Amino acid sequence: MTRISLARRIKTVMRYKVDIVRIRENMITLNGWAIGRTPESRLEFFIEDKNRRPLECKYVSTRRDDVSQIYFGKAYDRDFGFDIQFPYERGEDYYLVIECDGRRVKIRYNEELIAKRSSVAHKRKEKIKDLMNMETVRVAWDFWKENGLRALVVKSRHKLQGIDNDYDYGEWYDLTKPSDEELEAQRKEVFSVEPVFSIVIPVYQTPERYLREMLDSIIAQTYGKWEVCIADGSPKGRSAEKILKKYAEQDERIRYQILGENRGISGNTNAAMDMAEGDYIVLADHDDTITPNALYELAKAVNKDQDNEVIYSDEDKLDMDGGALFEPHFKPDFNVDLLTSTNYICHLFAVKKDLVENVGRFNHEFDGAQDYDFIFRCTEQAKKIYHVPKVLYHWRCHQESTASNPESKLYAFEAGARAIKAHFDRLGIETESIVKGVDYGKYHTRFQIKGEPLVSVVIPNKDHHADLDICVKSLMEKETYKNLEYIIVENNSTEKATFEYYEKMQKEHDNFHVVTWEKEFNYSAINNFGETFAKGEYLLFLNNDTEMIEPDCIQEMLGYCQRDDVGAVGARLLYQDDTIQHAGVVVGFGGIAGHTFIGLHKSENSYFHRAMCAQDYSAVTAACIMVKKSVFDEVGGFSPELAVAFNDIDLCMKIRSADQLIVYNPYALLYHYESKSRGLEDTPEKVARFNREIAIFARKWPDILENGDPYYNPNLTLRKSNFALRDLKKEKIGEPYKLEVELEREG
């Protein structure tokens, strides 16, 4: 009998949970946690067969600070998690037995029960049970106090909706990763160009198991042109030389150097780079792993275009015992403004060695964010940057790593802010401040406004003068930037009060102008008409049913719009109930285009905080969009053939075709009371017109609809706006979502 003893504590009684159950090659693996009444409570684990006879099992304890924090209020130096593995025979019953504080529990396992626990219904029940704990109550109470009951109800509804997912990420990954047959085919493939990848690994007191797993994952690569360059900066007598020597003797592609001292993360990495003789440098941490197809995908990218000097991939996280994958990060193609909001590139990262020689290696002045600084310098100079939309890297995650607890390394956050500042300094872009965004590791950059350029605010209006007054007054009375002119495009109003309002405002404000559009409604033509009266260098197209919330909206948008590489800037728009109406546009949502994160409460966490990160998108809504007047004129303004729908998306696509970026800035925050002025597409004539405009847009921009939005990721769904995993039963990876029903009109 194998018995395992641990020290545990809990305030009431023993608690436990088996998170993951797997059957692999006649072995059952159980991952979970257990705690007793006190930190010193003694637990015993063992496995019994159906006759209650004890069986031999393998046991590994794992750190579970999340459990400690929930039940004890802080992290204890205890391994609260367990990983138990034992052999099984088909058709037999087995029992996990846990004893603690005089209590004994037995949990039965067999193939049928394991299959049942893997079912959608069972997982839904488990997710509901997971929500029913004191930590959930505490978090909910704190959220309620800060944001109110309505916000809590919205957040709770989204949590419960998440329970209906058909599979978790681990299952999804198993369904999408390369098969054994595909891996074998990769091993046989011969590329016309065969680059050598130098995988540089700084080692410092690495646990033997983790280092072995990293090296084993490299040896298992389907592409064989690689070398490993390891620099061990561990203190004397504590190096990994014994392990490294063994691996080097078995494979001549593995080379190492014992530094005898710790030169810091930058110095250790640079020492590893000094050993590199390959064509590309690949960065890897000493305790992570890469997928078997990682280097194959890099080689494939090089063969696709040899100007791809920087290559990066998607990634996920690996728990400390290596038994579970979670929190996949499916990234966009290169997104320079997202990169200045957060180091979204991270892993896997490969860069041409010649480029490294030009930009320099790691700089110790940025230790803590040395890779962030390095990525900036590489991407600034690279001929082309290529994104592989596949998970090629498993990032081992524990509480003290910035992967799971950024606040544990505040110095890393501060180093990151300096890296961003250095990036903008090299580009000659003046910043006013770089501060903490929604969380550590997320940055909010404010740019210096050059001069005090005039901004022309163009607002179409048909009656609804009360809404218009709220919109204009919010800018006049709250906005800190004052050099504005207002051009109200009167569009067939009929109410006397509307014209009285116009007259009053023009008498009271020299910068308030009304111009009259006398033809039928055409959103594009109306805005183009209004623009001809604008005197400003910058145009702010604004719906009359919007209201500014943050007083620095104009400055936030203007700071980006003044950059030479930016053509237009959008804002974050909320419904009246403080849920998101617009946080950027993805072309392909719903078949054509749609807003991201619709209905998410402003205080909820979005996918990797994307709703709260300044970033580039293919489009933003014209309900609030700032455009350089010169760029607007260059691309011909809004397209009149799109009278109602998708005219703003089309404008953004034309601006992007002129090699200008479209930036979404979440710190420019407004309410959007959603198109009160125009009404719904509720007649056959309106529906027919709307469908015609869908066809026009699709004919104008077929490539992005067919190939996918570069600022999204093909592994994420096009059926919802929340960046959820693709539903493999309804959507194939990389294929556009076919329009099956009439789309609702965009606001």
pLDDT in tens, 448-458: 999 999 999 99
Helix (H, G, I), strand (E, B) or coil at 289: strand
Residue 624 in this model has a pLDDT that exceeds 70: yes
CA distance 426 to 274: 26
- Residue 650, judged by CB atoms within 10 A of its CB (0-12, 13-18, 19+), counts as buried
How far apart, in Å, are the Cα atoms of 410 and each of 19, 458, 650? 31, 44, 42
Q: What is the DSSP letter of 154?
A: H
Matching fold, domains 4-117 and 192-405: no
pLDDT per position as a tens digit, 464-507: 999 999 999 999 999 999 999 999 999 999 999 999 999 999 99
CA distance 630 to 635: 9
CA distance 270 to 255: 15
pLDDT of residue 10: 33
* Chain mean position to CA 406: 15
Q: Which of the two residues, 311 and 113, has the higher pLDDT score?
A: 311
pLDDT of residue 89: 77
Q: Which two tokens stand for residue 561?
A: 């719009």
pLDDT of residue 742: 39
Give pairs for 475-478: CB < 8 Å, separation 24+. 475/548, 475/554, 476/509, 478/548, 478/551
User: Residue range 123-148: average pLDDT?
Assistant: 54
CA distance 324 to 43: 24
Helix (H, G, I), strand (E, B) or coil at 340: coil
CA distance 379 to 420: 13
pLDDT per position as a tens digit, 661-686: 999 999 999 999 974 344 444 567 76
CA distance 737 to 739: 6
Beta bridge partners of 444: 435
User: Residue range 172-182: average pLDDT?
Assistant: 93
CA distance 33 to 29: 13
pLDDT of residue 19: 74
Give the architecture-level CATH label for domain 4-117.
Sandwich (2.60)
By C-alpha distance, which of 359, 364, 328, 361 is closest to 346?
328
Q: Which two tokens stand for residue 367?
A: 């230790």
Q: Which of the two residues, 75 and 361, has the higher pLDDT score?
A: 361
How far apart, in Å, are the Cα atoms of 501 and each of 41, 456, 464, 472, 477? 75, 20, 10, 12, 17
pLDDT per position as a tens digit, 570-581: 999 999 989 999
Helix (H, G, I), strand (E, B) or coil at 558: helix
The band of 121, judged by pLDDT with boundaries at 50, 70 and 90, is: very low
pLDDT of residue 26: 67
Q: Which CATH class is domain 455-707?
A: alpha beta
- The percent of residues in the chain predicted with pLDDT above 90, rounded, is 61
For the beta carbon of residue 150, count every other beta carbon within 10 angstroms: 13
pLDDT of residue 747: 33
CA distance 9 to 620: 52
pLDDT per position as a tens digit, 233-282: 999 888 889 999 999 999 999 999 999 999 999 999 999 999 999 999 99
How far apart, in Å, are the Cα atoms of 154 and each of 161, 373, 439, 599, 603? 11, 38, 21, 8, 10
**pTM summary value:** 0.79
Most confidently modeled range among 65-79, 164-178, 524-538, 690-704:
524-538
By C-alpha distance, which of 540, 530, 465 is closest to 504?
465
Residue 132 in this model has a pLDDT that exceeds 90: no
**Domain range 192-405, its CATH number among 3.90.1150.10, 3.40.50.300, 3.20.20.480, 3.90.550.10:** 3.90.550.10
Q: Where are the domains of the chain?
A: 4-117, 192-405, 455-707
Residue type, 523: Y
Q: What is the DSSP letter of 235?
A: P
